[in-house]
Amino acid sequence: MMCLGSCADSNLQEASIRLKTLYSRRLRADYELSDLIVETRQEAELAYSESKEIIAQINNLKSKGSKGTAISEIRQYARDILKLQVY
The pLDDT mean for the chain works out to 87
What was the pLDDT predicted at 31? 86
**pLDDT (tens digit per residue) in 35-71:** 787 778 898 899 999 999 999 988 887 766 678 888 8
Q: Provide the residue ranges of all domains of the chain, joining segments of one domain with +.
A: 2-80
Q: How many CB atoms are located within 10 Å of the residue 43 CB?
A: 16
What was the pLDDT predicted at 34? 81
Selected residue with higher pLDDT from 24 and 1: 24
User: Residue 38 has what DSSP assignment?
Assistant: G
Phi then psi for 64, rounded to 5 degrees?
-80, -15
What was the pLDDT predicted at 1? 60
What was the pLDDT predicted at 76? 92
